[in-house]
Amino acid sequence: MADPILFYEPFDEHGFLSNFYPSNILLESKVWPTSEHYYQAKKFTSPQIINAIYSAPTPEKAFELSRTYQDEVRANWEEIKWQTMDFIVREKFSQNSQLAFWLVNTGSEEIKEHSHKDSYWGDGGDGTGENHLGRILMTIRAELCTTSPYNLTRFVDVAKLPTQWGEFQMNAFVELEHDKEHLALVYGDISQVDTPLIRLHSECLTGDALFSDRCDCGYQLARALQNIVNEGAGILLYLRQEGRGIGLLNKVRAYHLQDDGADTVQANERLGFPADMRRYEFCQGMLGYLGVKQVRLMTNNPRKVKALEKAGINVIDRVSLQEGKNPHNENYLKTKASKLGICWTLLSLNRVFLIPLKRRSPLSNVRGLVFTVLYRLEEGNY
């Protein structure tokens, strides 16, 4: 049996479960800085005392003030204190969705407030307490676990990922419905960015790791990571949806059909698949865990914008990512534009510049030199 999750101090591991953890809660035009402020204030009916506790600079000070005025606690407090705690803890997680994702990610382990000072809300320090706060948290968790978007993904772990562009934090997730593994590469402090720059990049082994010029995927991956670093903060979601969702082996079969004259859409359809099987609704679980509600999305694909917005992520801006056009993928890009709605700007050959750029496979130490051809851009899309 797994050990219970113990919490007490707000900035220790699992400290977000504490009533002392900073979490703004809007109620009746007042923004309470913590659930502790609200709980302590509700002990009283005096507007002056309530306002003093509301204005307390810290939850510790709010707690102290309630002790100072303990002779003025409302007569029925013992009757209503459980309902008061249940209400404000629910509001805390309802209004702070990132905390709700973190709560769900505690799994099925027992949750206990590990306080030797409180045997009613906590475990009394020796495990014999009634642990009512822990019970409330576990009830809320059970309800969230059956509710979208909290039941879409599960966070697994995070590790540093140094790259040629900079050091990212590599967050691993499991998509629960299909048991697929996905990554969120985070650069910088996204908590300080209201609308971070992000990219949804579907896995492409041939383009990302094997330098294939049949597509533009590897080029776009490199450019997206560079753009995020240049921005100072951002996220790249690396999604395990090889071959627009048909998988690696079927992708090879589709390439064979393309070698025989089919375009990229016809090849998928001849194999019995839709033109694009990728899904993006589960991305809300990944972005929500990271605390992201609105984004600037790097993509040439309007469908990704619609999919994210349908999933509840507000796309403030679509940032074009036109990278990697070459003689081997020109027909591929034209097909994506004409049949899949991908926005590729119509290019003129009137002016051509060759600019050498370093390109490196994420899975290899091999360095190569590729050339990006920059054309004079003209109005219009494929």
Q: What is the pLDDT of residues 150-194, one digit of tens each?
A: 999 999 999 999 999 999 999 999 999 999 999 999 999 999 999
Q: How confident is the model at residue 56 (pLDDT cuts 50, 70, 90)?
A: very high
What is the pLDDT, as a whole number, of residue 321? 84
Catalytic residue among 278, 317, 318, 360: 278
| 284, 97 contact by CB (below 8 A) | no
User: What distance in Å separates the CA atoms of residue 280 and residue 292, rounded to the nearest whole number?
Assistant: 15
Q: Is 278 a catalytic residue?
A: yes
Give the residue, 334 or 178, on which the prediction is more confident.
Answer: 178
Residue 71's Cβ-side half-sphere holds a number of Cα atoms within 13 Å equal to 1
Name the nearest CA neighbour of 224 among 290, 308, 168.
168
Asked whether 245 and 254 are in contact (CB, 8 A), the reply is no
Cβ–Cβ under 8 Å, residues 202 and 218:
no
CA distance 272 to 236: 30
Asked whether the whole model's pTM tops 0.95, one would answer: no
What is the sign, positive or negative, of the torsion defined by CA atoms of 248, 253, 254, 256? positive
Q: Report how far residue 199's alpha carbon sits from residue 298's, in angstroms, rounded to the nearest whole number.
A: 5
Residue 333 has pLDDT above 50, yes or no: yes
Q: Are 137 and 145 in contact (CB under 8 A)?
A: no
Catalytic residue selected from 276, 279, 318, 376 = 276
Structure tokens given for 372:
């990006």
pLDDT value, residue 163: 97
351 is catalytic: no
- Give the pLDDT of residue 166: 97
pLDDT mean across residues, the chain: 87
Q: Which residue has the tokens 């064979």?
A: 256
Lowest mean pLDDT, pick from 82-96, 150-164, 304-318? 304-318
Exposure pattern of 86-118 as b/e (b: 16+ CB <10 Å)?
Answer: bbbbebbbebbbbbbbbbbebeeebbbbbbeeb
Q: For the CA atoms of 133, 134, 140, 141, what is the dihedral angle to 10 degrees? A: 160
> Cβ of 205: how many Cβ atoms within 10 Å?
15
Strands (E), 152-255: 153-162, 167-175, 180-187, 197-202, 234-239
Are the C-beta atoms of 149 and 288 separated by less than 8 Å? yes
pLDDT category at 328 given cuts 50, 70, 90 is confident
Give the Cα separation of 35 and 88 in Å (integer).
6
Backbone angles phi, psi at 202, to 5 degrees: -80, 135
